Amino acid sequence: MPVTDAQVLDALRRVDDPSIHRSIVELGLVRRARVSGGVVDVEVALVAPEAAPVLGERVRAALANLDGQPAPLVELTSMTDGERDELARRLEAERTTPIPFAAPGSRTRVLLVASGKGGVGKSSVTVNLAVALAGRGHRVCVVDADVWGFSVPAMLGITRPPTVLGRRLVLPPEAHGVACASIGFFVREDQPVVWRGPMLHKALEQFLTDFWWGEPDFLVVDLPPGTGDISLSLASFLPRSEAYVVTTPQPAAQRVAQRAGLMFQSEQIGIDVRGVIENMSWFTGDDGTRYELFGAGGGAALAERLGVPLLGQVPLVPELRQGGDAGRPVTVSDPDGEAARAFAAIAGRIDDELAPTRRDHPGLRVV
């Protein structure tokens, strides 16, 4: 039985745009969907040109389910300025609050990754935790809030700027299943960010209001070290967040890290600290011996001090550093390695063991 135009359009309804994560039919991106001379002929507008390979593959895969058809003709074309403006207006009109993650009905879990000081691998933990959560089938976004030491785009291997729709709606670029916003998209690599508190506050607010995030399962925020203005601003923007503190095993690092945890637990902030992650816990030699290069026990001591679980210990492996430098996180480059397994276990505990109940998180549905 011949395939109809309606069947072609129905098949395309199941194709999501890679940038907006919504059906290309729902977004009005399908310009042509017909059967001509026994051949399926489709034209789809691209929101982001760099998404062409992924979108083309998704469209062809959806059309392959139409029985008895030759290879479809798929044309991907650029949106006009008017189409981009109209799409931006449609998406902005859907927002019921400036910061969707702060809305009572939001189903997104916001994870604030903090540390007491620099040099403990907090950004590496953020990136690999985000990739591990994406590997569990979740939609994950990262905000690189470490405006002075921004590094998340490079660690994810993102080199292109965000796509802008209309006057200000920004679509975050994505790699390894993780979308990202960072001040690094807007300043040169060698340009220092010399901003006072109000400018930092405004920049962070724009990350949450001007970027189109949709409704991800997780928003992971890489905080700067310490207890300064940025942490206070994000706590006010995202009061329903969960905080996770990163430390190394050495007692000196643990004593500094506890200040970040106690800040979140203070009456002024009132954000739950859900767990501690210990990084650089040991190095495993070729003979299988574990060498505790930075001491031992810091993570467990910090977890006890804060009254939360120690979620996991991440070993010190060369691949972790190499992956960050090359833009291929260790959870991608060496998924079966010791460090990647540690991140997978931590992600599993956050996803399952620490999943909020409906009472804790009113936006979640109980099924």
The top-level CATH class assigned to 5-79 is alpha beta
Write out the two tokens for 35: 């059967």
pLDDT of residue 251: 85
* pLDDT over 70 percentage in the chain: 94
Is there a common fold for 5-79 and 100-353? no
> pLDDT digit string (tens) for 194-244?
666 677 778 888 889 899 998 999 999 999 888 778 888 888 899 989 999
pLDDT of residue 359: 46
Write out the two tokens for 81: 């300025």
Binned at pLDDT 50, 70 and 90, residue 1 comes out as low
> Is the pTM for the entire model greater than 0.75?
yes
pLDDT of residue 366: 38
The CA distance from 23 to 32, in Å, is 15
> pLDDT digit string (tens) for 273-323?
999 999 999 999 989 899 999 889 999 999 999 999 999 999 999 999 888
The CA distance from 116 to 70, in Å, is 60
Which CATH homologous superfamily contains domain 100-353?
Answer: P-loop containing nucleotide triphosphate hydrolases (3.40.50.300)
Q: Is 70 helix (H, G, I), strand (E, B) or coil?
A: coil
- Please provide the distance, in angstroms rounded to a whole number, between the alpha carbons at the two ends of the chain: 40
Strand order in the sheet with 73-78: 30-36, 39-46, 73-78
**Domain ranges in the chain?**
5-79, 100-353
Q: Mean of the per-residue pLDDT values for the chain?
A: 90
pLDDT of residue 94: 86
The CA distance from 73 to 232, in Å, is 53
Q: Ranked by mean pLDDT, which of 141-145, 164-168, 232-236 comes out on top?
A: 141-145
What average pLDDT does this structure show over 255-279?
Answer: 92
The CA distance from 264 to 363, in Å, is 22
